[in-house]
Amino acid sequence: MTLAALVDRDVAVAAPAEAAGSMLRLLTCGSVDDGKSTLIGRLLWDSGAVSEDQKASVLAQSQGRSNVNGEHVDFSLLLDGLQAEREQGITIDIAWRFFESPSRRYVIIDAPGHEQYTRNMATGASHADVAILLIDARHGAKRQTRRHAAICDLVGIKNVVLAVNKMDLTGFDEARFREIEADFTAMAGRFGFTDIQTIPVSALTGDNVSEPSGNMPWYDGPTLLDYLEAANPAAEAQDAPFRFPVQTVLRDGDFRGLAGTVASGAIAVGDRITDIRSGLAASIARIATMDGDREMAAAGDAVALELDTDLDISRGAVLSEPATAPVNADVLEARIVWVAETPFDPEAGYLLLTNTDLVSVSSLSVSALVDFETLQSAPAHSCAVNDIADCRIMLGRPTPLDLFKDLPATGNFVLVSALDGTTVAGGVITWAQSGASSSENRYVLSRDLLARGLCSDLGDSPDDRAEFDRRAQEVAILLRSVGVPVTVEI
């Protein structure tokens, strides 16, 4: 994927074009104790990415761990870096590892499996191109497995490896593998994955990790390493619309440049650009970088654009080509993952943070939650930590937005608390519209108006107040869909 809904907003959202074919960002995820750290440790060990000193240390520590056979190496020690992790035998924080093969470079993101650390997993997923989703062959998919699959889908990961681990503990049973494979294929049909590879492995013994397994002659697919070497995550389309979120304005003598990182597409000197917020347009006169001027810039390039006309543009603007501009939206629908310990409160204040813009949220309502048993959306009015929810958001003013399915780089956001600035959720935009905050000819949905009619059956309980807000937002969405500007004042 190219975006990060939960990463620092002023960093590049895509690798430079020249590195796109050589770098693979790889996430390991799944339920606790399914063997994620062991699998990646084995991969590092077998690929020669572990120094002799590290090997000696791991071998020595392996002998002191009760859950490890003396003949085996505890490969998870290469990933579980925190003392608390080593004491508990689990992963808490995200572990990052880098290694190279003869054909490409890898960034490995080892995500925690425990439910209470789902926010860490979501952060890691937002960086990844490919996900390895582990399942213990003895137990099959669990609730947390389905949650992690849903988060991978949420952040736009398209390439997924289902690694059915601990096959040695099932006697390398083909029937058990095929059963899990069929169950996952049925589940994955609800998601947007475009490439799914299922591999039976044993991280502890190394079967099908980097070498084909002699214990599973019935499997004729690639090993895990072979798959990763050949993996080719979908790159951004060559004709992707140009997006340039402005981070700051640089001034030096006669020079006035708009600094930022190209989020998608490409631009060249002489091309015409527009700022959808102001409606102003100009041509690119110069593309400046720390290494000198360039004739063009593409996704991932950090540049300063000098225009042929000085426009009143500041941080938060998104430059685009006039024919493919984003929506200057002030109402949107989104799917979010709630990461704050404090549950959603419709009375609390929130801010919406895009690539470089920060906008007040005038109204936020939850309409549904994902049920991790069925993976269906069920009506709801609230959400709590680790929930995935569908919501409607009204903004205090318009900001440039795209749909995530069209342009992930500018179709995502972070919600932060207006009280203390902490991150409460990350989300992707599924629908956006402009005009809701216009003061001209707008229709006002007031509390009194709704209480006399549509919401006359509701009381003052927390559930009734949430239902009141939900109905108000539903009416507003319907009116806006037919072109009626609406403000909800409740």
Residues 319, 337 within the same domain = no
- Angle at the Cα of 25 (from 102 to 208), degrees rounded to 5? 60
Residue type for position 164: V
Residues 276, 216 within the same domain = no
145 lies in which domain range? 21-230
Residues 84, 222 within the same domain = yes
Residues 190, 305 within the same domain = no
Specify the higher pLDDT residue, 409 or 435.
Answer: 409
Residues 110, 219 within the same domain = yes
Residue 11 resides in a domain = no
Over residues 190-196, the mean pLDDT reads 89
pLDDT at 207 over 50: yes
1: pLDDT confidence band, cut at 50, 70 and 90?
A: very low
The answer to which of 218-227, 286-295, 366-375 has the lowest mean pLDDT is 366-375
Over residues 154-174, the mean pLDDT reads 93
Residues 319, 452 within the same domain = no
- How far is residue 418's CA from residue 39's CA, in Å, rounded to a whole number? 41
Over residues 357-379, the mean pLDDT reads 88
pLDDT for 272 equals 93
pLDDT for 35 equals 82
Over residues 154-178, the mean pLDDT reads 93
pLDDT for 5 equals 41
Residue 285 near residue 409 (C-beta atoms within 8 A): no
CB-CB neighbours of 10 under 10 Å: 13
What is the value of pTM for the model shown? Answer: 0.76
Cα distances from 268 to residues 302, 337, 363, 400, in angstroms, run 14, 37, 40, 22
pLDDT at 12 over 50: no
Q: What is the distance of C-alpha 209 from the center of its chain?
A: 27
Over residues 443-457, the mean pLDDT reads 83
**pLDDT of 215-266, one tens digit each?**
999 999 999 999 999 888 876 666 789 999 999 999 888 888 999 999 999 9
- How far is residue 486's CA from residue 469's CA, in Å, rounded to a whole number? 14
Final residue of a structural domain among 324, 349, 379: 324
pLDDT at 401 over 50: yes
403: pLDDT confidence band, cut at 50, 70 and 90?
A: very high
- How far is residue 208's CA from residue 22's CA, in Å, rounded to a whole number? 23
pLDDT for 45 equals 83
Residue 12 resides in a domain = no
116: pLDDT confidence band, cut at 50, 70 and 90?
A: low
Residue 29 near residue 121 (C-beta atoms within 8 A): yes
Residues 298, 434 within the same domain = no
Residue 179 resides in a domain = yes
The answer to which of 79-83, 118-122, 150-154, 330-334 has the lowest mean pLDDT is 79-83
Residues 204, 270 within the same domain = no
pLDDT for 7 equals 43
Residues 83, 164 within the same domain = yes
Over residues 390-405, the mean pLDDT reads 92
Over residues 35-61, the mean pLDDT reads 80
pLDDT for 77 equals 75
Strand ranges of the sheet holding 159-165, from the earlier edge strand across to the other edge: 95-100, 105-110, 23-30, 130-136, 159-165, 195-200
pLDDT at 103 over 80: yes
Residues 424, 279 within the same domain = no
The answer to which of 62-66, 183-187, 484-488 has the lowest mean pLDDT is 62-66
Final residue of a structural domain among 208, 230, 252: 230
pLDDT at 96 over 80: no
Average pLDDT taken over every residue of the chain:
83
What is the CATH number for 249? 2.40.30.10
Over residues 436-447, the mean pLDDT reads 64
- How far is residue 66's CA from residue 428's CA, in Å, rounded to a whole number? 43
Nearest alpha-carbon partner for 430 in 389, 482, 487 = 389
Specify the higher pLDDT residue, 470 or 51.
Answer: 470
**pLDDT of 255-283, one tens digit each?**
889 999 999 999 999 999 999 888 888 99
pLDDT for 95 equals 67
pLDDT at 87 over 50: no
4: pLDDT confidence band, cut at 50, 70 and 90?
A: very low
pLDDT for 473 equals 79
Q: What percent of the chain has pLDDT over 90?
A: 39
pLDDT for 91 equals 41
Residues 68, 148 within the same domain = yes
pLDDT at 183 over 80: yes
Residues 467, 398 within the same domain = yes
- Using the CB atoms, write b or e for 414-441: b if 16+ within 10 Å: bbbbeeeeeebbbbbbeebbbbbbeeee
Q: How many structural domains are present in the chain?
A: 3
Highest averaged pLDDT of the listed ranges 58-62, 296-300, 431-435: 296-300
Final residue of a structural domain among 324, 353, 368: 324
**pLDDT of 303-312, one tens digit each?**
999 998 888 8
